[in-house]
Amino acid sequence: MKRAVTFMMAALLAALVQAQDADLFFAGRAPLLLDPSRTGFGPGGRISFIHQDQWMQMPGAWRGEQVAAEWCLRNTRKQVDSWLAAGLVAMRDRQAETGSNRSAIGFLPAIHLRAGERSFLSAGLELRWANGTIGDAGGAWGSQYQDGAYRPELPSGESWATGRRSWLEARAGLSFTLKNEAESRFRRERNILVAGIAADHLGRLMTGEGGAPTEVIPMRLTAHALAELPHEIWANGLFAVELIGQLQGPFRTARLNLYAGKHFSNSVLADHGPAPLGFKAGIGYQLQNALVVNAALDWGRATLGMAYGLSLFNTDRQTSGRRTFELMLQVRLAGAEA
């Protein structure tokens, strides 16, 4: 009985934590993770991998991975005022201590429309299949008797505390883009302003369930804006500010990021010579929680980024001082920009 209560409390704790989605710092470098309407806006394609450890002091407490692939279906042979894009996303989010595990795979179609000489409107949708478990998924029963005597401290293995669910759900987004200069089919210009809204966990169609009840993930609303100021202090230089706000059930988060960096948009890879270099580094503040430092290096078609967060402003003593780490690897395919 005591063991059963422990499992139930662990499952409840997992449900409360899992009800909140991970806040990925590098989602802005893989925009379809932040907002499905950003899928394939830029030319070419890209494949992105993000790993996050949300509690470094407690190994395995909360880890997650995201893999995203996107492709711009814009016709490059003529000037167009609209184009389609497609993407695929796979994710896994797990907590070893409570046996909580959530995974999903989704398909993202998007459409981009010219609204003016330098502006565009975008809309996107993600259709996702997800699977979640909570509790000890081993299913092994253990005996609480040893040498003929009852030993309550031994685990009894109440596997009925395990819950499993699979379902279909959707995500949708709308965004606006303003370019630095008017584009042609031969040249892509920098985005100096991107703003949008997105909604996650829209509806739920159950495809399978069993065991103990699992969490119901509330809808998440995301608002984001990124503004860049080009400069020539160094070649293709930029200063940028990014603001992201999220509302999900009782959880409210916001983050302000400041950056300095260098693009190599529209530069051509030489057949013989060094690959172009770009970078973006900065500092972020997560509302009433953490300070985050980050840096990303663009080299040729690849990007490596790392972010480190320290919870300095959290009033909750249990999570104050929590350290987080995030790693991003990205490969840009033919025609893609940094």
For residue 97, pLDDT over 90 is answered with: no
**Lowest mean pLDDT across 28-32, 151-155, 289-293, 303-307:** 151-155
Angstrom distances, CA of residue 291 to CA of 9, 60, 247, 312: 31, 22, 20, 7
What is residue 7's predicted lDDT score, i.e. its pLDDT?
42
For the segment 242-263, what is each residue's pLDDT rounded down to a tens digit?
999 999 988 899 999 999 999 8
Q: Looking at per-residue confidence, does 289 or 337 come out higher? A: 289
Q: How far apart are CA 265 and CA 32, in angstroms?
A: 20
* Boundaries of domain holding 293: 2-332
Instruction: Report which of 274, 253, 307, 245 is spatially closest to residue 29, judged by C-alpha positions.
Output: 307
What is residue 319's predicted lDDT score, i.e. its pLDDT?
66
User: The tokens 């699992």 sit on which residue?
Assistant: 214
Residue 106 lies in a domain: yes
What is residue 5's predicted lDDT score, i.e. its pLDDT?
40
For residue 278, pLDDT over 70 is answered with: yes
For the segment 189-224, what is each residue's pLDDT rounded down to a tens digit?
889 999 999 999 998 899 988 776 777 789 999 999
Total-model pTM: 0.82
Q: Residue 89: CB partners within 8 Å, gap ≥ 6?
A: 32, 33, 66, 67, 68, 69, 104, 105, 106, 108, 126, 128
Q: Looking at per-residue confidence, does 230 or 137 come out higher? A: 230
Residue 58 lies in a domain: yes
Instruction: Report which of 43, 182, 196, 176 is spatially closest to residue 121, judged by C-alpha positions.
Output: 176
Q: Please give the mean pLDDT across all residues of the chain.
A: 83
Q: How far apart are CA 273 and CA 266, in angstroms?
A: 17
As a whole number, mean pLDDT of residues 44-71 equals 89
Count of structural domains, the chain: 1
Residue 105 lies in a domain: yes
Give the N- to C-terminal CA distance of the chain in Å, as an integer. Answer: 57
Residue 31 lies in a domain: yes
**Lowest mean pLDDT across 22-31, 97-106, 239-248, 298-307:** 97-106
Residue 226 lies in a domain: yes
Residue 338 lies in a domain: no
Q: What is the CATH number of the domain that holds 114?
A: 2.40.160.40
Residue 337 lies in a domain: no
As a whole number, mean pLDDT of residues 67-93 equals 93
Residue 225 lies in a domain: yes
What is residue 2's predicted lDDT score, i.e. its pLDDT?
42
For residue 158, pLDDT over 80 is answered with: no
What is residue 156's predicted lDDT score, i.e. its pLDDT?
56
